[in-house]
Protein backbone atom coordinates (compact mmCIF):
# COMPACT_ATOMS: atom_id res chain seq x y z
CA UNK A 1 0.00 0.00 0.00
CA UNK A 2 1.04 3.63 -0.49
CA UNK A 3 2.47 5.72 2.32
CA UNK A 4 4.45 8.93 2.70
CA UNK A 5 7.80 8.43 4.39
CA UNK A 6 10.35 10.83 5.82
CA UNK A 7 13.85 9.65 4.93
CA UNK A 8 16.02 12.25 6.68
CA UNK A 9 15.63 15.30 8.89
CA UNK A 10 16.23 18.66 7.30
CA UNK A 11 14.52 20.45 4.41
CA UNK A 12 10.93 19.11 4.35
CA UNK A 13 10.37 19.11 0.59
CA UNK A 14 13.63 17.26 -0.08
CA UNK A 15 13.24 14.32 2.28
CA UNK A 16 9.69 13.02 1.86
CA UNK A 17 8.13 10.86 -0.81
CA UNK A 18 5.58 8.18 -1.58
CA UNK A 19 6.71 4.58 -1.10
CA UNK A 20 5.09 1.16 -1.21
CA UNK A 21 4.98 -0.53 2.18
CA UNK A 22 3.62 -3.90 3.26
CA UNK A 23 -0.12 -4.16 3.68
CA UNK A 24 -1.43 -4.86 7.19
CA UNK A 25 -1.96 -8.58 7.63
CA UNK A 26 -2.66 -9.05 11.33
CA UNK A 27 -3.67 -6.94 14.32
CA UNK A 28 -3.93 -7.51 18.04
CA UNK A 29 -7.29 -8.26 19.65
CA UNK A 30 -7.69 -4.67 20.90
CA UNK A 31 -6.70 -2.96 17.65
CA UNK A 32 -8.41 -1.81 14.48
CA UNK A 33 -7.36 -1.17 10.90
CA UNK A 34 -8.33 2.27 9.62
CA UNK A 35 -8.49 3.39 6.00
CA UNK A 36 -7.18 6.95 6.07
CA UNK A 37 -9.39 9.42 4.22
CA UNK A 38 -7.87 12.87 4.78
CA UNK A 39 -4.88 14.19 6.72
CA UNK A 40 -3.68 17.80 6.91
CA UNK A 41 -0.17 19.15 6.59
CA UNK A 42 0.36 21.04 9.84
CA UNK A 43 3.14 23.33 11.08
CA UNK A 44 4.02 20.60 13.58
CA UNK A 45 4.58 18.24 10.64
CA UNK A 46 7.08 20.75 9.21
CA UNK A 47 8.87 20.91 12.56
CA UNK A 48 9.00 17.11 12.70
CA UNK A 49 10.49 16.96 9.20
CA UNK A 50 13.09 19.54 10.20
CA UNK A 51 14.04 17.50 13.26
CA UNK A 52 13.06 20.22 15.76
CA UNK A 53 9.84 18.63 17.06
CA UNK A 54 9.84 16.61 20.31
CA UNK A 55 8.69 13.50 18.42
CA UNK A 56 11.56 12.20 16.32
CA UNK A 57 10.82 8.74 14.94
CA UNK A 58 13.58 6.46 13.74
CA UNK A 59 13.90 7.01 9.99
CA UNK A 60 12.70 6.12 7.45
CA UNK A 61 9.24 6.52 8.94
CA UNK A 62 5.68 7.25 7.92
CA UNK A 63 4.69 10.63 9.37
CA UNK A 64 1.57 12.83 9.59
CA UNK A 65 0.16 13.69 13.00
CA UNK A 66 -3.63 13.70 12.57
CA UNK A 67 -6.42 12.73 10.22
CA UNK A 68 -9.76 11.04 9.77
CA UNK A 69 -10.47 7.53 8.55
CA UNK A 70 -12.96 4.72 8.15
CA UNK A 71 -12.67 1.55 10.25
CA UNK A 72 -11.95 -1.36 7.92
CA UNK A 73 -11.69 -4.21 10.42
CA UNK A 74 -11.52 -4.75 14.18
CA UNK A 75 -9.81 -7.12 16.59
CA UNK A 76 -11.84 -9.87 18.20
CA UNK A 77 -12.14 -8.11 21.57
CA UNK A 78 -13.15 -4.69 20.18
CA UNK A 79 -16.67 -3.57 21.05
CA UNK A 80 -16.58 0.25 20.96
CA UNK A 81 -16.19 0.62 17.19
CA UNK A 82 -17.26 -1.38 14.14
CA UNK A 83 -16.30 -1.55 10.46
CA UNK A 84 -17.59 1.48 8.62
CA UNK A 85 -17.32 3.88 11.58
CA UNK A 86 -15.68 7.24 10.88
CA UNK A 87 -12.97 7.95 13.47
CA UNK A 88 -10.16 10.35 14.26
CA UNK A 89 -6.60 9.09 13.87
CA UNK A 90 -5.33 9.05 17.49
CA UNK A 91 -2.19 10.63 18.90
CA UNK A 92 0.84 8.45 18.32
CA UNK A 93 -0.39 6.96 15.04
CA UNK A 94 1.31 8.45 11.98
CA UNK A 95 -1.48 9.06 9.48
CA UNK A 96 0.13 9.54 6.06
CA UNK A 97 -0.65 6.07 4.78
CA UNK A 98 -3.56 4.38 3.02
CA UNK A 99 -4.12 2.26 6.15
CA UNK A 100 -3.02 2.49 9.77
CA UNK A 101 -3.40 0.40 12.93
CA UNK A 102 -4.62 1.97 16.17
CA UNK A 103 -5.84 0.94 19.61
CA UNK A 104 -9.64 0.86 19.62
CA UNK A 105 -9.83 2.49 23.07
CA UNK A 106 -8.09 5.61 21.74
CA UNK A 107 -10.58 6.26 18.94
CA UNK A 108 -13.24 8.95 18.82
CA UNK A 109 -16.21 7.83 16.72
CA UNK A 110 -17.65 10.68 14.67
CA UNK A 111 -21.20 11.20 13.39
CA UNK A 112 -21.74 9.34 10.09
CA UNK A 113 -22.60 12.56 8.22
CA UNK A 114 -19.60 14.50 9.53
CA UNK A 115 -17.74 16.85 7.18
CA UNK A 116 -14.73 14.63 6.51
CA UNK A 117 -12.37 17.43 5.58
CA UNK A 118 -13.10 19.37 8.75
CA UNK A 119 -12.96 16.14 10.77
CA UNK A 120 -9.41 15.56 9.51
CA UNK A 121 -8.38 18.65 11.49
CA UNK A 122 -10.09 17.75 14.78
CA UNK A 123 -7.23 16.20 16.72
CA UNK A 124 -4.72 19.04 17.10
CA UNK A 125 -6.00 22.60 16.71
CA UNK A 126 -9.47 22.27 18.32
CA UNK A 127 -8.29 20.47 21.49
CA UNK A 128 -5.38 22.91 21.63
CA UNK A 129 -7.92 25.75 21.64
CA UNK A 130 -10.04 24.06 24.32
CA UNK A 131 -7.09 23.47 26.63
CA UNK A 132 -5.58 26.92 26.09
CA UNK A 133 -8.87 28.51 27.13
CA UNK A 134 -9.48 26.20 30.11
CA UNK A 135 -6.17 25.28 31.71
CA UNK A 136 -4.50 28.56 32.70
CA UNK A 137 -7.09 31.07 33.93
CA UNK A 138 -10.77 30.98 34.74
CA UNK A 139 -12.63 32.84 32.00
CA UNK A 140 -16.26 33.89 32.20
CA UNK A 141 -18.73 34.91 29.52
CA UNK A 142 -17.90 38.48 28.49
CA UNK A 143 -14.18 38.20 29.27
CA UNK A 144 -11.63 38.94 26.55
CA UNK A 145 -8.79 36.78 25.26
CA UNK A 146 -6.03 38.28 23.10
CA UNK A 147 -3.98 36.21 20.64
CA UNK A 148 -1.68 36.76 17.68
CA UNK A 149 -1.51 34.93 14.33
CA UNK A 150 -5.25 35.59 14.30
CA UNK A 151 -5.54 34.60 10.63
CA UNK A 152 -3.99 31.16 11.17
CA UNK A 153 -6.05 27.97 11.17
CA UNK A 154 -5.45 27.34 14.89
CA UNK A 155 -6.87 30.79 15.58
CA UNK A 156 -10.03 29.87 13.69
CA UNK A 157 -10.58 27.19 16.31
CA UNK A 158 -9.64 29.48 19.21
CA UNK A 159 -12.28 31.91 17.97
CA UNK A 160 -14.91 29.16 17.59
CA UNK A 161 -14.27 27.66 21.02
CA UNK A 162 -14.19 31.10 22.66
CA UNK A 163 -17.50 32.08 21.04
CA UNK A 164 -19.11 28.87 22.30
CA UNK A 165 -18.18 29.99 25.84
CA UNK A 166 -19.23 33.62 25.39
CA UNK A 167 -15.61 34.83 25.48
CA UNK A 168 -14.71 37.88 23.38
CA UNK A 169 -11.77 37.62 20.99
CA UNK A 170 -9.11 40.22 20.20
CA UNK A 171 -6.93 39.02 17.34
CA UNK A 172 -3.56 40.46 16.32
CA UNK A 173 -2.14 40.00 12.80
CA UNK A 174 1.11 41.04 11.18
CA UNK A 175 -0.24 42.53 7.94
CA UNK A 176 -3.33 44.49 6.88
CA UNK A 177 -4.56 41.93 4.34
CA UNK A 178 -4.91 39.36 7.14
CA UNK A 179 -7.42 41.44 9.05
CA UNK A 180 -10.39 40.37 6.92
CA UNK A 181 -9.41 36.71 7.23
CA UNK A 182 -9.61 36.87 11.03
CA UNK A 183 -12.81 38.93 11.01
CA UNK A 184 -14.43 36.44 8.64
CA UNK A 185 -13.46 33.68 11.10
CA UNK A 186 -15.54 35.51 13.72
CA UNK A 187 -13.04 37.51 15.80
CA UNK A 188 -14.68 40.43 17.61
CA UNK A 189 -11.75 42.80 17.05
CA UNK A 190 -8.69 42.42 14.79
CA UNK A 191 -5.69 44.78 14.88
CA UNK A 192 -2.39 44.97 13.04
CA UNK A 193 0.69 44.59 15.26
CA UNK A 194 2.28 48.03 14.89
CA UNK A 195 3.44 50.83 17.19
CA UNK A 196 -0.18 51.73 17.97
CA UNK A 197 -1.54 48.25 18.66
CA UNK A 198 -1.50 48.45 22.48
CA UNK A 199 -3.39 51.74 22.60
CA UNK A 200 -5.80 50.52 19.92
CA UNK A 201 -6.43 47.32 21.89
CA UNK A 202 -7.16 49.23 25.10
CA UNK A 203 -9.61 51.46 23.25
CA UNK A 204 -11.33 48.58 21.40
CA UNK A 205 -11.87 46.61 24.62
CA UNK A 206 -12.80 49.64 26.77
CA UNK A 207 -9.67 49.12 28.88
CA UNK A 208 -10.68 45.59 29.85
CA UNK A 209 -8.37 43.78 32.27
CA UNK A 210 -7.58 40.93 29.92
CA UNK A 211 -6.50 37.84 31.85
CA UNK A 212 -5.29 35.55 29.04
CA UNK A 213 -3.00 36.13 26.07
CA UNK A 214 -1.97 33.46 23.57
CA UNK A 215 1.30 33.76 21.63
CA UNK A 216 1.96 31.68 18.52
CA UNK A 217 4.59 33.93 16.95
CA UNK A 218 7.45 34.79 19.31
CA UNK A 219 9.91 37.65 18.92
CA UNK A 220 8.59 41.17 19.48
CA UNK A 221 5.04 39.98 18.83
CA UNK A 222 5.05 38.34 22.26
CA UNK A 223 5.60 41.67 23.98
CA UNK A 224 2.60 43.20 22.20
CA UNK A 225 0.43 40.54 23.83
CA UNK A 226 2.11 41.11 27.21
CA UNK A 227 1.49 44.87 27.06
CA UNK A 228 -2.18 44.38 26.15
CA UNK A 229 -2.77 42.05 29.11
CA UNK A 230 -4.08 43.42 32.40
CA UNK A 231 -2.02 43.34 35.58
CA UNK A 232 -1.32 39.76 36.65
CA UNK A 233 -2.37 38.49 33.22
CA UNK A 234 -1.29 35.09 31.92
CA UNK A 235 0.72 34.86 28.71
CA UNK A 236 0.82 31.38 27.14
CA UNK A 237 3.32 30.59 24.37
CA UNK A 238 2.20 27.60 22.32
CA UNK A 239 3.94 27.96 18.93
CA UNK A 240 6.94 29.68 17.34
CA UNK A 241 5.93 30.82 13.87
CA UNK A 242 8.68 33.45 13.64
CA UNK A 243 11.36 31.09 14.88
CA UNK A 244 12.57 33.86 17.19
CA UNK A 245 12.86 33.70 21.00
CA UNK A 246 10.10 35.51 22.85
CA UNK A 247 10.81 39.14 23.70
CA UNK A 248 9.01 40.47 26.78
CA UNK A 249 9.83 43.67 28.65
CA UNK A 250 10.94 43.27 32.24
CA UNK A 251 8.51 46.08 33.14
CA UNK A 252 5.62 43.72 32.47
CA UNK A 253 7.20 40.94 34.51
CA UNK A 254 8.37 43.04 37.46
CA UNK A 255 5.78 45.75 37.90
CA UNK A 256 2.69 44.26 36.26
CA UNK A 257 3.29 40.64 37.37
CA UNK A 258 2.69 39.15 33.93
CA UNK A 259 3.00 35.35 34.12
CA UNK A 260 4.50 33.40 31.21
CA UNK A 261 3.73 29.75 30.53
CA UNK A 262 4.55 27.33 27.76
CA UNK A 263 2.00 24.89 26.37
CA UNK A 264 2.51 21.59 24.52
CA UNK A 265 -0.60 19.48 24.19
CA UNK A 266 1.20 16.15 24.46
CA UNK A 267 2.79 16.71 27.85
CA UNK A 268 1.69 14.16 30.50
CA UNK A 269 -0.48 16.79 32.24
CA UNK A 270 -2.67 17.20 29.17
CA UNK A 271 -2.75 13.84 27.37
CA UNK A 272 -5.49 12.42 29.68
CA UNK A 273 -7.64 15.47 28.84
CA UNK A 274 -7.31 15.24 25.06
CA UNK A 275 -10.23 12.91 24.40
CA UNK A 276 -12.67 15.13 26.23
CA UNK A 277 -11.29 18.18 24.45
CA UNK A 278 -11.77 16.44 21.10
CA UNK A 279 -15.34 15.51 22.07
CA UNK A 280 -16.05 19.18 22.82
CA UNK A 281 -14.67 19.97 19.38
CA UNK A 282 -16.90 17.35 17.74
CA UNK A 283 -19.94 19.07 19.26
CA UNK A 284 -18.84 22.40 17.75
CA UNK A 285 -18.31 20.72 14.39
CA UNK A 286 -21.80 19.19 14.52
CA UNK A 287 -23.22 22.62 15.31
CA UNK A 288 -21.47 24.12 12.30
CA UNK A 289 -19.26 26.32 14.49
CA UNK A 290 -15.93 24.87 13.31
CA UNK A 291 -15.03 25.66 9.72
CA UNK A 292 -11.37 26.05 8.80
CA UNK A 293 -10.97 27.08 5.13
CA UNK A 294 -9.14 24.45 3.09
CA UNK A 295 -7.00 25.96 0.35
CA UNK A 296 -6.37 22.77 -1.63
CA UNK A 297 -6.49 18.97 -1.51
CA UNK A 298 -3.53 16.97 -2.80
CA UNK A 299 -3.04 13.26 -3.61
CA UNK A 300 -0.13 11.58 -1.79
CA UNK A 301 2.13 11.61 -4.84
CA UNK A 302 2.02 15.44 -4.77
CA UNK A 303 3.08 15.67 -1.14
CA UNK A 304 6.05 17.92 -1.93
CA UNK A 305 3.67 20.47 -3.49
CA UNK A 306 1.38 20.15 -0.46
CA UNK A 307 4.28 20.84 1.91
CA UNK A 308 5.45 23.85 -0.09
CA UNK A 309 1.88 25.17 -0.16
CA UNK A 310 1.81 24.92 3.65
CA UNK A 311 5.15 26.74 3.93
CA UNK A 312 3.88 29.50 1.63
CA UNK A 313 0.61 29.77 3.58
CA UNK A 314 -2.77 28.05 3.43
CA UNK A 315 -4.35 24.95 4.92
CA UNK A 316 -4.00 21.88 2.73
CA UNK A 317 -5.12 18.28 3.05
CA UNK A 318 -3.79 15.02 1.69
CA UNK A 319 -6.44 12.58 0.44
CA UNK A 320 -5.57 8.88 0.70
CA UNK A 321 -8.91 7.12 0.12
CA UNK A 322 -12.33 8.23 -1.08
- Annotated active-site positions, please? 53
Pairing of strands 212-215, 144-148: parallel
251 C-beta neighbours (distance < 10 Å), count: 12
Say if residues 153 and 295 touch (Cβ distance below 8 Å).
no
Mapping DSSP onto H, E and C, the string for the chain reads CEEEEECCCCCHHHCEEEEECCCCCCCCCCEEEEEEEEEECCHHHHHHHHCCCCCCCCCCEECCCCCEEEEEEECCCCCCCCCCCEEECCCCCCCCECEEEEEHHHCCECCCCCCHHHHCCCCCHHHHHHHHHHCCCCCCCCCEEEEECCCCHHHHHHHHHHHHCCCEEEEEECCHHHHHHHHHCCCCEEEECCCCHHHHHHHHCCCCCCCEEEECCCECHHHHHHHHCCCCCEEEECCCCCCCCECCCHHHHHCCCCEEEECCCCCCCCHHHHHHHHHHHHHHHHCCCCCCCCCEEECHHHHHHHHHHHHHCCCEEEECCC
C-alpha span between 229 and 136 (Å, rounded): 14
CA separation, residue 223 to residues 136, 259, 262 (Å): 19, 12, 15
Amino acid sequence: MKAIQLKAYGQPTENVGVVEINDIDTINNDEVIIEVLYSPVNPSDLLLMQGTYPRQPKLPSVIGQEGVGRVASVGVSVTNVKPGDIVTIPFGTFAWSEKVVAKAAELVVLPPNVDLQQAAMLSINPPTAVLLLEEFVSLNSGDWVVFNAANASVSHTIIAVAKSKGIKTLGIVRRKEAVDVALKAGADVVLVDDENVVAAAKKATNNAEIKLGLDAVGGKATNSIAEILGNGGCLVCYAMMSGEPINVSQIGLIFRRIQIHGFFMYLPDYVPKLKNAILQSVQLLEQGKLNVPVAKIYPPDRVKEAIQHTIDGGKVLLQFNS
